[in-house]
Each structure stands twice: as structure tokens, then as C-alpha cells.
Chains A and B, each alone.
Chain A
Amino acid sequence: MTPPMTKRRIEPLIWLTFSGGGVMAAVFMTPLAFLFALAFPLGWITPPDYDHLHAVVSHPLTLLVLFGMIVPILVHCAHRFRYTLYDGLQVKHKVAIAALCYGGAAAGAFAALDVLGSLL
């Protein structure tokens, strides 16, 4: 039996977004996480002035870049975690896992839209 047409259409798109998200996570999240999760909170580097940072993150171009980075990363995470559960941990509830993973990514994308939209 051949897979349904929609599945065949969606799968390559998900794999493409997975790859894009992997690159985004490696190239953009690494410096961002280092600065905002470690260096600034721990005082290794003096945190930026609030007004300056607010001006940077509320710029429409920054918001667009952040959204374009966050959504593929979330799809990447969802796709990878889905297969980790299938292949790695041998969990067999395929539909529930797919719904949980991609549903989580979709919820994250809406949360990102909400947060980034509030900065405009």
C-alpha cells in the first residue's frame, strides 16, 4: 500500500525544515544561548543596557529573523525527538508521539508569534 499523497507531500517539507532548524540551532542558538543563558546571568560579560537591547529586539528585522530561526528549530526538535522515541527508545505509540511532538512545535510557534508580536 502506498502512503497517502498528503503524507508524501508533507514528509520532504518536514525533513527540509528539520535540516534548516539544525543549521539555525548550531549557528544562531549557540552564541545566543552562551550570551543570554550563561555569560550575562553569571556576570562573565556585562549585560547590555536595557534601552539598547529593547531597541535591538523590537526592531522588525530582528523579530523577523528570530521568528524565522525559532520555527525551524522547533520543527527540528519535534522531528528529532519523534524519531528518538520511535527508534531510540522503542516507543510504539506513533500517532500520539507525532501529535505530541508536532503539536508542541506548533504551540511553541504560536507562543513565539505572541511574544515577538508583543515587542512590536
Chain B
Amino acid sequence: MTPTTTRTDELLYRRPISTWWWTRKLTYFVFVMRELSSIFIAWLVAYLLMFLSAVGRGDEAYQDFFDWAASPALVVLNVVAFCFLVLHTVTWFSLTPQAMALRVRGRPVPGVLVIGAQYAGLAVVSAFIYWLVTG
């Protein structure tokens, strides 16, 4: 992604680029898939809100929600959405050392440590959520 263009940028000539430029190379394709993960993450937020709404409506609505969530179409959608979420997570963690140059006592922290710390954080949060939810 690039920052928003200014008025000056808009006045400059730009060579037209094909809409399908991202299909020419695997790295371009992964880049666009990573960006498109936003749609699936938004879907998972909507799904979570629908679930919470069902919890608010009572035990029967809660059980009905899980029955609906187990329907083939929704399982396919959620599997695809989860794959995109994992793509987001992996690429986000990998990009962090490039976006944030961390220093401890004046020395740069190696990228692999930054990435490892994020996976450790994910593991801790996952364990906590599992414990909280399943009681």
C-alpha cells in the first residue's frame, strides 16, 4: 500500500497498468491475496457479532447458531476465511521487523526475535482465550 496521492501526483502522467498485473508473478499474486484478506477478516468479525447476538438471545439461539455454522456452505466459507486470516497473520508478523526497527540498549533487535516474540504472544493469547471460553 502507498500513502494517499496528492493533487500534484494526480496531475502527473502515469503509464496505464493492466487490472490483472498481479496474476503475472507468484509474489504479486500473494501480495494481492494478502490485501484481499481484509474482506475475509471483515466477514469473520461479522460472524463473531452474529454469534454474540445469538448468545444474547438465549440457549436455543446459541445451539441453532452452531447448527447453522456447521452447514456445508458456511463451513467452506469459514475455512476459506480462516486460511486468509492465517495468511494475514503470517505476513503481518513477517513484516513487523521491517516496519518497526526495535532497539534495546542501542542495539537493533534481530528480526527473527521480533517475529518469534509475536508467535509467542499469539500462543499465550490463544491459550488464555481457550481457558476462558472452555472454563
Instruction: Give the nearest-CB partner of A30 in chain B.
Output: B89
* Contacts beyond the supplied A29-B44, A81-B39, A88-B36: 18 A-B pairs with Cβ under 8 Å: A11-B4, A22-B88, A25-B41, A28-B125, A33-B85, A35-B129, A36-B47, A38-B78, A40-B69, A41-B70, A48-B134, A57-B52, A66-B52, A74-B45, A81-B42, A87-B2, A90-B17, A90-B19
Q: How far is the CA of A5 from the CA of B81 in the complex (A)?
A: 38
Q: Which of B81, B126, B133 contacts A37 (CB under 8 A)? A: B81
- 0 or 1 for each of A72-91: is its CB under 8 Å from B? (1 = yes): 01101110110110011110
Q: Which of A30, A47, A80, A115 contacts B38 (CB under 8 A)? A: A80
The smallest C-beta distance from A116 to any residue of chain B, in angstroms, reads 7
Is B133 a contact of A48 with CB atoms below 8 Å? yes
Q: Main secondary structure on chain B at its contact with chain A? A: helix
- Jot down 12 A-B pairs with beta carbons below 8 A, ordered by A: A22-B88, A26-B93, A29-B45, A30-B86, A30-B89, A38-B78, A53-B133, A73-B42, A77-B42, A78-B38, A80-B35, A115-B53
Q: Which of B47, B130, B133 contacts A56 (CB under 8 A)? A: B133
Number of A-B contacts (CB under 8 A): 172
The smallest C-beta distance from A110 to any residue of chain B, in angstroms, reads 11
Q: Main secondary structure on chain A at its contact with chain B? A: helix
Is A88 a contact of B129 with CB atoms below 8 Å? no
Any A CB within 8 A of the CB of B132 = yes
Is B134 a contact of A83 with CB atoms below 8 Å? no
- 0 or 1 for each of B84-128: is its CB under 8 Å from A? (1 = yes): 011011001100000100000000000000000010011001100
Any A CB within 8 A of the CB of B32 = yes
Q: Which of B36, B66, B74 contacts A40 (CB under 8 A)? A: B66
